[in-house]
Amino acid sequence: MKILSLSSGSKGNAYIVEHEGDALLIDCGIGPRIFKQRIAPFFPSAIRFHGVLITHNHSDHTSGLQAFLKSNPEVPVYANELTAESTGFETGVAPSAFVCFENGQDFCAGPFRVEAFSLPHDASDPVGFLVEADEIYLHATDFGVPVKAAGTRLSKADVATVEFNHETELLYASGRHQSLIRRISGPRGHLSNNDAASFIKEYASEKLKRVALAHLSQDCNAPHLALSAAQQALSSVSLGHIPVKVFSQNEALQL
C-alpha cells in the first residue's frame, strides 16, 4: 500500500491511498492544476479511483472536489450524512454524487474495506478513516484531543497518518487573536505535537511500520519539532526504528 500526500495543511489537503493501481482519494482541498502536477511523478500511469473519502466539510478539505468530479464523474464521494449535506451545499456538488455511510460501520470502495470513526473537531460530524487492502492504514487528522475511537484503530494499523498541528508554545506566542488560539487548542480544534506524541505512545502497536505527520501549522510548528516529538514517542514504545515522514503543504510526499 502506498500513501501519497499531495498537500497537507491549512491551505489544502489531499491524500491518495493506492494498491496495485487501485486508489482512494481522501479529501480534495486542492485545485486540478496542482493535483495533476503533484501526482504525475508518482503515478505516471493512470490509477483507478474507486472513491473520494471526505473527513469533514471545511474548505481546505473540499474546495477542489467539484473540479475533481468534473474530470472523474463516475467516482463516488463517500461521506456521512451531515458531511455530505454541508459539503454539497458549500461546494455545489450534487447530492447524487454522494454515497452516505454511518460512522463505525464498514463499507467497501472497490477493493478497499473502509471504516469511518468520529473525531472531535468543529465541523459537521468529522471523521477519520481506517482503510484496509494488503495493509491497514489509519488516517486521523483534524481533531482536538486524543480519543479512544482513533486510538483503538491506531493499534490495528500497519501505516498511519496522524495530525501534528502545532507546538503549544509557538501557538500562544503567535500573536493570533485569543479566540483563534482557543479554537485551535480547544477540544474540537487541532492536535498539538505533545498530544499527538502521547496518542502514538499510548496506542501504537508492534504492527506499526510507517508513520506520517500531517497538517502542520506553517506559523506555529516546524517539521523538526513535530519529528522530534514523534520519534521520542515511538522510541519510548520500542518503535524508534520505523520510518517517519513529515507531510508538507507545498510538495507531494509518499509514505
Give CA–CA dist 60/56, Å, rounded: 10
Q: Give the pLDDT band (50/70/90) at residue 255.
A: very high
The DSSP code for 97 is: G
Closest CA relative to residue 154, chosen from 212, 229, 102, 83: 212
Q: What is the pLDDT of residues 47-69, one digit of tens each?
A: 999 999 999 999 999 999 999 99
- CA–centroid distance for 75 within its chain: 19
Residue 37's φ and ψ, nearest 5 degrees, are -65, -40
The DSSP code for 218 is: S
Q: Mean pLDDT score of the chain, rounded to an integer?
A: 98
Q: What is the pLDDT of residues 33-43, one digit of tens each?
A: 999 999 999 99
Give CA–CA dist 230/156, Å, rounded: 18
Domain ranges of the chain: 2-254
Q: What is the pLDDT of residues 1-14, one digit of tens each?
A: 999 999 999 999 99
Identify whether the C-beta of residue 138 lies closer than 8 Å to the C-beta of residue 162. Answer: yes
Closest CA relative to residue 191, chosen from 230, 165, 162: 165
C-alpha grid cell, residue 104: 463505525
Q: What is the pLDDT of residues 153-200, one digit of tens each?
A: 999 999 999 999 999 999 999 999 999 999 999 999 999 999 999 999
Whole-number pLDDT of residue 74:
98
Q: What is the pLDDT of residues 108-123, one digit of tens each?
A: 999 999 999 999 999 9
Closest CA relative to residue 67, chosen from 47, 48, 93: 93
What percentage of the chain reaches a pLDDT higher than 90? 99
C-alpha grid cell, residue 45: 500511469
Fold (topology level) of 2-254: Metallo-beta-lactamase; Chain A (3.60.15)
C-alpha grid cell, residue 110: 472497490
Residue with cell 460501520: 105
Give CA–CA dist 172/168, Å, rounded: 6
β-bridge partners, 77: 52, 98
